[in-house]
Each structure stands twice: as structure tokens, then as C-alpha cells.
Amino acid sequence: MSGSLKDHTVEQNWPAYTEDEHAIWRLLFERQQKLLKRRACREYLDGLQGLGVAAHGIPDFRRLSDILDRATGWRIAPVAGLVPDDVFFACLASRRFPSTCFIRRADQLDYLQEPDIFHDVYGHVPMLMNPVFADYMQAYGEGGLKAQRRNALELLARLYWYTVEFGLIDTRHGLRVYGAGIMSSPGEIEHSLTSPAPLRIGFDLRRVLRTVYEIDDFQRTYFVIDSFAQLFEQTAQDFSPIYEQVSRLPACTPDRALPGERQFPAG
């Protein structure tokens, strides 16, 4: 173990944010809200409203944590940046979401290599208000601790990438976004739902674990769940035999569908 969560947490120090930093939050928030009105899933929009996250400025983690705690037992753990894998998984397993405190600069509005407070809070935290997704995130943390012991982190990271960061859900109103990486990126929202370029494939756990991903461009494959209950049920099983099966199969590139896969057209 590389250290406990307390070794990585910091004070958010909300009064120290400058007016320029609050202005960047407002700009990002207002822009994304216009794009997400008919593109984000209902669970995300309900969570955002329930948290009271708004355009007036950067939220105070203490207030958000109290609301989250009452809803699903989660709290926000302020951190300076990315934390080691074991700390990250242990954090999720104990229903603590590690969030950075800094916000991107004005010249980084469209792309930032590492997550900032807007990505973490606007993108991730609203989904933690949903009980099923909140349980899924805790189970993912527990699974991560097990995956470390089996040297299977590369496979499990693909699950996080294609669900928590870049997941889509099929609804009666059409495809909707629930992944935080899409929520916080104006270009990825349009690309994921309306571009004819990427694949949109029905969620299958083994297929997800086999599929490599790219971190510096729009995604070429998105996986579509039917419901959050389906996501939780498919990933609640013991992954040990699945890791063994998948490790013997070739990796899938993110630009090709496999024969017989269920695909979804652009919306």
C-alpha cells in the first residue's frame, strides 16, 4: 500500500478561490448546461438539481458532502491531484469520492489533461446521488483492491473508462450521456451522440474488459447500457474467472465492432 487517504487529502479552502476562478466555473457550467439539456440522462440531471450545484460559482465541498451523505452515504474527499491506485480504490470502497480542488485556466477551457474540480464535481458527483450508481461505484472500488492482488488493473481500468468516464445509456427518449468525461467536454457530447464516426455498442462486460482506449482524442467506441441496474448486475459477479478468460483473448481495438454485436446509430 502506498499510503492512506488521509496522507493525500487537503483542505479545499473555499474562501481562497478568486473571482476569476469562479468566473471560469460559471462559464463552463453555463456552456455545458445548454448542451446537456436533452443529452444527459435523467439520473444525472436529477442529481445535479438535488445537489444544488449551480452557475454562481465553485461549490463548497462541505455543503455538497452533507447533501450526498444524506442521499447515498457518499462524501467528497478533497485531494491535490491524482492519488495512487490503492488509495483511489480504498476511497471509493468507503464511499468517498476524491476530487481535485483546482480549476482550469481560461486557456484550458476545451481540454485539460488531468481532472480539475469542474470535471470531478460537475461530471462525477451528480451521479453519486443515484442509489444504484452509488453502489456501483463502491463495488468498483472494492473490485479495484482485488484486481491489484491479481495484477488485473489494466483490464479493470477499461471498465471505469467505458462506464464512469464515457458511458452512454439507452432510454425511451434515445441515447443519453452518464459518463463524466463526456459531461465535462463540449466536443465529446456532440461526438458521442450525434457523430456517425464512433461505434456505439451494447454493453457486455467481457467485451469492455478487452477493449483498449485512447486518452488524447475523442472516443472511437462507446458502450451503451440499458439501465444502471443492468450495469450493477453485470459487474457484481466475481471477476476472477473473467480476468482469466479475457487475458487469454486478444485485445480489441476501439475502431472495430465484432460480428453480431448490437450497435446503436447516431442520435
Q: What pLDDT score does 5 carry?
A: 66
Residue 31, all three cell numbers: 456552456
- Minimal CA–CA distance to 96: which of 74, 114, 112? 74
188 in catalytic set: no
User: What percent of the chain stands above pLDDT 70?
Assistant: 98
Q: What pLDDT score does 3 carry?
A: 54
* pLDDT exceeds 80 at position 61: yes
119 in catalytic set: yes
How far apart CA 96 and CA 75 sit, in angstroms, is 5
What single-letter amino acid sits at 46? Answer: D
* pLDDT tens digits, one per residue of 18-41: 999 999 999 999 999 999 988 999
Q: How far is CA 186 from CA 80, 104, 106, 125, 183, in A?
A: 25, 15, 15, 18, 8
- 8 A C-beta contact, residue 67 and residue 52: yes
Catalytic residue among 8, 124, 188, 192: 124
* pLDDT tens digits, one per residue of 100-138: 999 999 888 877 778 999 999 999 999 999 999 999 999
Residue 124, all three cell numbers: 462525477
Catalytic residue among 8, 165, 185, 192: 165
184 in catalytic set: yes
Greater model confidence, 9 or 43: 43
How far apart CA 193 and CA 205 sit, in angstroms, is 21
How far apart CA 125 and CA 220 sit, in angstroms, is 25
Catalytic residue among 43, 65, 99, 184: 184
Catalytic residue among 119, 185, 188, 191: 119
How far apart CA 220 and CA 24 sit, in angstroms, is 29
Q: What pLDDT score does 4 carry?
A: 61
Q: Mean pLDDT over residues 181-194, rounded?
A: 92
For the whole model, what pTM was predicted?
Answer: 0.94
The band of 1, judged by pLDDT with boundaries at 50, 70 and 90, is very low
